[in-house]
Amino acid sequence: MSTNKLLTRDQVAEHEKWNLEAMYATNDAWEADFKKVQELLPEVANFRGRLGEGASTLLEWMRLNEKIGLTFDNVFVYAHMRYHQNTGDSFYQGLSDRASMLAAEVSSELSFVNPELLGLPDGTLERFMEENEDLRLYKMVFTRLLREKEHVLTPEVEEVLAKVAEIAEAPGSIFSMFSNADLKMPSVQDSEGNEHEVNEGRYRNLLESKDRVLRERAFKSLFGAYGQFRNMLGATYNNNVKKNVFYAKTRHYNTTLEAALSGDNVSVDVYNNLIQANHDNLPHLHRYLELRKKVLGLDELHYYDFFVPMVESVDMTIPWEQGKAMSLDALQPLGEEYVTTVQRAFDERWVDVFPNVGKRTGAYSWGTYTSDPYLFLNYTDTLDDVFTTVHELGHSLHSYYTMKSQPFVYGNYTIFVAEVASTLNENLLLSKMLREETDKKKRMYLLTHSLDQYRSTMFRQTMFAEFEKIVHGLVEEGQPLNADLLSQIYLDLNIKYYGPVLKVDDELKNEWARIPHFYDAFYVYKYATGFAAAAALARQIQEEGAPAVERYLNFLTKGSSEDPLDLLKGAGVDMSSPQPIHDSFKVFVERLDELEKLINEQ
């Protein structure tokens, strides 16, 4: 896949595309399920005002709710995955839009349920579970619901909020359409005059180039393109933040952050501990960046110098077939069944591999309770792409084990634990490569890669989390956001996190405008907490062997049947304490020490 020009979707080989036909063989089959959901929705009204009649009525409702959910999930996920494979395809854009509209309709029809259940006399749900054994399956569902009792509003208000849900998602939808389909970056020339297309899918690969002229021009092309629309994007993001604040206040939370964390039953202290631990360890990051500047022989270290390998003579180009083999090899410690399932993912086309024209950027794992757990990649033959592959395999295997073991109602998991499963796989890959590599230059390359993972996950994602906390706090205080203020906050954080070694380019202040996760508030901190938890569990697997593997695989089977912090405690790590975060930074310092030693020995 080594070409400077993107293929169109129909030019991509079939075996390199995911097999979504396994979900729906034809568009007519999708239409049939869409219609099925529409036909089931009127049955919902039969239960309005009746959920407290008795245990049998409540059980009937729970089963109807699952029936709707199973079919709707397939309709929604399929339509969006088809759209993501080519955002310029108006047909699948239409299906995606219809699925989103159906989601709002489903949400509206079901909006009475939680308020009605919470309006029942104290002890009613517990009594119903005692009377009907089948209802006990939903004990954790009811426990979580009752925990949120003070934040659920009257049925009338909940119905209104549900009806405006699609409108409330407008900022994120606008950003996604603009970023993935409309925004075009100017092509750039490298130092030899060769032309290179610039887009989000190729940007990281361009910044890993040894050609500094190409890196700088790609950086300025991408960030400059967003900068041209910074006022529009500022207004879009401002409205997204105001939406979040509105919902938090309406539901009687103290802050938007508290509202975002409540679903996982995670304390705000966990979030704040993460930020403080990062602040405490910033001198180590500054030391690493100073080393990077020295090794690259630069007078000034710019942001576009963060990604280029520090070891010049090491070529780590990894074609897809080699990347698959590396993934299978690295995951051997997790056992035969795990590895066999990974092989199935490759053989049965769970994976959409390469970039193509119009394809959404980034990577993810997605599916439904009854589908394969698909992987969406934009593989461009880099070592980072191999790490992304094992990362998304971690998500997909988490889904596989969960859905095989749990009923539909618990056949999912929160992002808080999801990032543990994905990042643990990255840890296993890196540890294996470091154990086996004896060539000093390649070892230096891998150590640099590890340190850059810390920079991009523990430090950068926490910087994002701090940015979100600041801007939501300003809006909560009544201060409106605009592009200038957002840019200044973001620039100040970059200077704080990266320190005096960073030579600031004006375009860097625009980066907030390109981060899609900002439209899913207080999401990114989970990458950092997941990174720390995964490091702890990977170390246990490598040191303890079978007992730690058994605990970990058991964790993967539990889905959402327990709260995230409890699930992780069962696996062997306590994330209510800041200790795993500090332990993770100790590994950063150890690897930085080794890298410095190897460099000094040259």
Per-residue confidence (pLDDT) for residue 4, from 0 to 100: 58
What percentage of the chain has pLDDT greater than the value 90?
87
Give me the catalytic one of 116, 216, 392, 511.
392
Is 45 among the domain residues? yes
pLDDT of res. 2? 42
Contacts of 283 (CB under 8 A, 6+ apart): none
As a whole number of angstroms, the distance between CA 557 and CA 411 comes to 9
Residues 6+ apart with CB under 8 A from 109: 41, 44, 45
pLDDT tens string 189-238:
999 999 999 998 889 889 989 999 999 999 999 999 999 999 999 999 99
Residue 403 within any structural domain of the chain: no
The domain that holds 85 is classified in CATH as: 1.20.140.70
* Residue range 410-429, pLDDT digits in tens: 999 998 899 899 999 999 99
Q: Nearest CA to 20 among 102, 96, 79?
A: 79
Q: Is residue 98 in a domain? A: yes
pLDDT in tens, 461-517: 999 999 999 999 999 999 989 999 999 999 999 999 999 999 999 999 999 999 999
On whether residue 62 sits in a domain, the answer given is yes
Residue 47 lies in a domain: yes
Is 85 domain-assigned?
yes
Residue 140 within a domain: yes
Confidence of residue 328 (pLDDT cuts 50, 70, 90): very high
Compute the C-alpha angle 589/594/600, nearest 5°.
125
How much is the pTM? 0.82
276: Cβ contacts below 8 Å, ≥ 6 apart? 578
Q: Is the pLDDT of residue 263 over 90?
A: no
Query: Does the annotation mark 21 as catalytic?
Result: no
Distance CA 588, CA 602 (A): 22
Specify the higher pLDDT residue, 361 or 537. 537
Q: Could you give the number of structural domains in the chain?
A: 1
Residues in Cβ contact with 147 at an 8 Å cutoff, skipping those fewer than 6 apart: 265
Q: What is the pLDDT of residues 55-106, one digit of tens each?
A: 999 999 999 999 999 999 999 999 999 999 999 999 999 999 999 999 999 9
Q: Which domain holds residue 51?
A: 9-168
Summarize pLDDT for 120-159 with one digit per residue, the tens: 999 999 999 999 999 999 999 999 999 988 888 888 898 8
Residue partners of 259: CB distance under 8 A and separation at least 6:
151, 244, 247, 248, 251, 253
pLDDT(3) > 90: no
Residue 114 maps to a domain:
yes
* Nearest C-alpha neighbor of 293 from the set 499, 439, 460, 450: 499
3-state helix, strand, coil in the chain (%, to 5): 70, 5, 25
